Chains A and B, each alone.
Chain A
């Protein structure tokens, strides 16, 4: 079973501050890296799917980078807002027909 680690496990950030967190995965046999946001009482929603080393993706105030050679991805949130409070999950795949392996998530709380 692949080991996907996310850090930190939880994070409290003041509204308006920027923040980032990490997803680490095995650097061999990389195929795809997914980021999902899971708000309380809602369904997890996809943020990004990243496939190439050096990929950078952006959606509004949220962006992500990918380093497949060293096995990590960063998720950045600029100017945090209360609606950013959620658990952020990353998931990793070793092949096109392979299932996703999820990390345990980073639980982000924005303090108004």
Chain B
């Protein structure tokens, strides 16, 4: 079974802090994604990566950066956390190049609260 793990289930940070959210997948998937989920808005794509050291902006990249130094790990970075970044963050991975025929496998999510 594909396993996607995220470093924390719950996280509380203060405004202005630098925040790292880690995601690891164990199935050698090429593609990895970071989403945030807010009530009434559905999953929105922040960044994605289709190869090591490659990254592409999603729909809402402002205030975020990412790092993919190894194939299995995709990190989301909040350079200076703000209260409007309080949200549920989901990581996903996918195989098969960038084909949207392939399902995405999700981690359990990190609920981040920025005070």
Q: Tell whether A112 is near chain B: CB-to-CB under 8 Å.
A: no
Which residue of chain B is the closest to A105 with respect to CB atoms? B42
Q: Is the interface of A mostly helix, strand, loop or mixed?
A: loop
Which residue of chain B is the closest to A92 with respect to CB atoms? B100
A48-72 CB contact bits vs B (8 Å, 1 = yes)? 0101000000000000000000000
Q: Is the CB of B103 within 8 A of A99?
A: no
Q: Which of B77-111 contact A (CB under 8 A)?
A: 90, 97-109
Q: Tell whether B45 is near chain A: CB-to-CB under 8 Å.
A: yes
Q: Which of B35-53 contact A (CB under 8 A)?
A: 35, 40-45, 48
Which residue of chain A is the closest to B4 with respect to CB atoms? A43
Q: In the complex, A17→B60 CA distance in Å? A: 39
Q: Is the CB of B104 within 8 A of A43?
A: no
Interface size on B, residues (CB 8 A): 26
Q: Is the CB of A49 within 8 A of B103?
A: yes
Residues of A within 8 A of B98 (CB): 96-97
Which residue of chain A is the closest to B107 with respect to CB atoms? A43
Inter-chain pairs besides A89-B43, A104-B40, 10 sampled, C-beta below 8 Å: A4-B42, A34-B104, A36-B106, A43-B90, A43-B106, A44-B90, A96-B101, A99-B58, A102-B35, A105-B42
User: Chain B interface (Cβ within 8 Å of chain A)?
Assistant: 4, 33, 35, 40-45, 48, 58-59, 90, 97-109
26 interchain pairs, CB-CB under 8 A: A1-B59, A32-B101, A34-B103, A34-B104, A36-B106, A43-B90, A43-B106, A43-B108, A44-B90, A46-B104, A49-B101, A49-B103, A51-B101, A89-B43, A91-B43, A93-B100, A96-B99, A98-B100, A99-B45, A99-B58, A99-B100, A100-B104, A102-B42, A102-B44, A104-B42, A105-B42
